[in-house]
Amino acid sequence: MQQSLLRVVAQLKRAQRILIITGAGLSADSGLPTYRGLGGLYNGHTAEGLPIEAALSGGMLQSDPALCWKYLAQLAGACLQARPNAAHMAIARLQKLKPECWVLTQNIDGYHRAAGSPAERLIEIHGQLTPLFCLDCAAEDGDLPAHLTAPMPPRCRHCQGLLRPPVVLFGEMLGEDSVARLQGEMAKGFELVICVGTSASFPYIVEPLIRTKQRGGFTVEINPERSAISAQVDIRIGTKALDAIPALVSHL
């Protein structure tokens, strides 16, 4: 592994345009369960016998908001109990050292922002947990912890409308602004793409890596488990983000 780390360090020193793609495996090192795989929070079905994709869908929020919020609350509670880890902090330091280093994350926990990653170079493609907003009057509500201890689903203090977080639920479209930012940066190109702790099961996660390879850039995967991109990257480091990323950045 040490030789692979040193090869990636050499690429990091050379590159200016860098993209770090992060998934649930990064926050797993904070104690937050991943959706699937080892320690998966949602392996199999829910207690109601539903696939988690059905329970955490936009359609379920409309048809049975209490059931949808049951699992949103579990996810939110787990996120609020944990904190950014040393890998999040190291990525934020890398962005300070490299002004054209971007982060594209599938995670909704907000740990990149909490660790210091600049908002202008952070694309939270699946949204974030706060602030909640009312589907009827659009009022914002920043007190997520209080709602998690109250009856579900949470209601607006102004009009009693249904509250929801600004996340992309299953079956919903990605946010137009996030997609536009990602497409704009991909059009400029990246010299180095590092995928961290993601199963890479979505096209918008794979596309930046493929386009970078086509342009002659360098690609890396950091993940203890093999994924859809494992056979395509230039270097695969089969370890946890917490073991690899701080070590990489410490050499810069």
Residues known to be catalytic: 126
Q: Rounded CA gap, 112 and 104, in Å?
A: 10
Using only the alpha carbons of the chain, give its radius of gyration. 19
Residue pointed to by tokens 């109250």: 150
Distance CA 96, CA 104 (A): 16
Q: Is 113 helix (H, G, I), strand (E, B) or coil?
A: helix
Tokens of 139: 């009022």
Distance between CA atoms of residues 202 and 29, nearest Å: 22
Q: How far apart are alpha carbons 90 and 248 in whole angstroms?
A: 9
Q: H or E element: which one contains 180? A: helix 176-188
Residue 218's nearest CA partner among 192, 190, 249 is 192
DSSP code for 177: H
Q: Which of 66, 94, 61 is nearest to 251 (CA)?
A: 94
